[in-house]
Amino acid sequence: MSSLWRSVRPRHLFSDLERRGMFEDTLVVLATEFGRTPVINANEGRDHPPQAFNCMLAGGGIKGSQVLGKTDERGSKILDGKVRVEDFNATIGYALGLPLDQVLYSPSARPFTMADKGKPLVELFG
Tell me the whole-structure pTM to 2 decimals: 0.78
* The pLDDT value given to residue 87: 94
pLDDT given at position 11: 61
pLDDT in the model for residue 120: 97
Distance separating alpha carbons of residues 123 and 14, to the nearest angstrom: 22
**Alpha-carbon dihedral angle through residues 16, 13, 26, 93, given to the nearest 10 degrees:** 180
Cα-only R_g, the chain: 19
The residues, any chain, with a CB within 8 Å of residue 116's CB and separated by 6 or more, are 86, 89
Q: What angle do CA 118, 122, 124 make, to 5 degrees?
A: 120
pLDDT per residue of the chain (126 residues) written in tens, 0 to 9 = 445 444 444 468 888 899 999 999 999 999 887 777 778 889 998 888 778 888 999 999 999 999 999 988 877 789 999 999 899 999 999 999 999 999 999 999 999 998 888 999 999 998
